[in-house]
């Protein structure tokens, strides 16, 4: 009878050891899986391994974008024939490199002149829509980039756009 009791106790202890080992392995899997998921989501190397060299160049290019320059506001007459309409617009330009590496400062009078000519040729109804603003934004970028010889404007931001 004592032998039977010892076998039951040994069997129970063996079962406990197996349970502990299984729980340890399960915890290791959960922690390892969580760590792997975190590494892939937050870690840079896991997220960029499959990207092409073009995507890497674009990421590096985004890091080296130049400053955002605030132009003095424009207050001007629009080309509406039926009544006098005015536009007040504030524009910020994001350059593709530091301002000192561009000829932006030297070309500023020509840039302002080109924008005044462009904006005064527009009618209020064309500028009131989102599409009209997007079109004028593209035209502004084209005009400025044709004037600048060193450096280009990457993005144009309207920070104030009032038609009266």
User: How is the chain split into domains, by residue range?
Assistant: 2-53, 64-163
pLDDT at 42: 55
pLDDT at 124: 96
From first to last of its 164 residues, the chain has per-residue pLDDT tens of: 555 555 555 555 556 677 767 666 555 555 655 555 555 555 544 444 444 445 444 454 555 678 999 999 999 999 999 999 999 999 999 999 999 999 999 999 999 999 999 999 999 999 999 999 999 999 999 999 999 999 999 999 999 999 99
Residue reference for tokens 């599409």: 131
Instruction: For residue 103, count other CB atoms closer than 10 A to its CB.
Output: 13
State the fold for domain 64-163: Tetrahydropterin Synthase; Chain A (3.30.479)
């Amino acid at each position: 009878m004592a032998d039977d009791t010892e076998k039951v106790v040994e069997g129970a202890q063996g079962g406990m050891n197996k349970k502990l080992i299984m729980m340890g392995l399960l915890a290791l899997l959960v922690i390892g899986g969580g760590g792997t998921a975190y590494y892939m989501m937050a870690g840079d190397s896991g997220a960029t391994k499959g990207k092409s060299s073009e995507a890497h160049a674009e990421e590096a290019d985004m890091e080296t974008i130049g400053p955002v320059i605030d132009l003095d506001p424009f207050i001007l007459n629009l080309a509406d024939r039926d009544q006098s309409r005015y536009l007040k617009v504030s524009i910020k330009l994001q350059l593709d490199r530091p301002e000192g590496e561009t000829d932006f400062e030297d070309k500023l009078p020509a840039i302002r002149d080109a924008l005044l000519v462009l904006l005064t040729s527009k009618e209020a109804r064309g500028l009131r829509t989102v599409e009209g603003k997007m079109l004028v934004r593209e035209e502004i970028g084209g005009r400025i980039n044709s004037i600048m010889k060193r450096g280009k404007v990457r993005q144009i931001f309207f920070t104030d756009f009032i038609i009266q």
